[in-house]
Structure 1
Amino acid sequence: MKLCLVVDDSKVIRKVARRILEELNFDIEEAVDGQDALDACDRNMPDVVLLDWNMPVMDGLEFLKAIRSREGVEQPIVVFCTTENDMAHIRTAIEAGANEYIMKPFDREIIEAKFTQVGLM
């Protein structure tokens, strides 16, 4: 089973994402911010990271840049999942190494479609 790291400071969003992703046969780990996510990656690199942008301690973009700068590790697929929906944010995320971008609110259909596009399904 593939491992998905859900990174969001909202417990509700993490819970909704967990429910959807477990139905899609993913194992789930959760992180509350980018630093927590980096620590989780050090313990067990996920196949995919579902990543919020705006979080305390370390935001999603900082996490993305940090994980993409690591050499000699298997890189996860990173899917931003955020309320930041303007083209400048999307372009910044893709240029920093995001594989895909999902707008909140999301549902199973959206996650399944995006995960299929990046080859996870």
Structure 2
Amino acid sequence: MESLIDSITAFLSGLFGLAQGGFDGVNQVMGLLIAVIAALVMPAWSRLWATALGAAFVHILIGVIRPVLDGAALTLPPLLTLSFWMTVLALFLGYAIVIAVFFFIKTLFTGGRHRHRVHVH
């Protein structure tokens, strides 16, 4: 039983470390702009995970495109390495945290409800 608790603790510690690393990656100007736009576009809490995944994808895409705009050759990220996917997971967790905070602030200002239009037929 102690081994199970130690394993769970180690897993949660690693997950927290990934989230903290992703939060550090998001906590820059580009990441905050992506998170604000994502929170403004996100329609409901149920779309948080999809929105965070999209934001992480946009973050990676900008990282690939930015050097090309500066005149460098196009280089793809190392898609077949574990470190790349750990970075994507960290960014995903970081964006999930930041987007959730921004969306919460958005719901405070908008009343938390979406006004549905009533269609009369």
Superposition TM-score, scaled by structure 2 size: 0.23
* CA radius of gyration, larger in: 2
Greater share of helix: 2
The structure, 1 or 2, with the larger RCO (C-alpha pairs under 8 Å, 6+ apart) is 2
Greater share of strand: 1
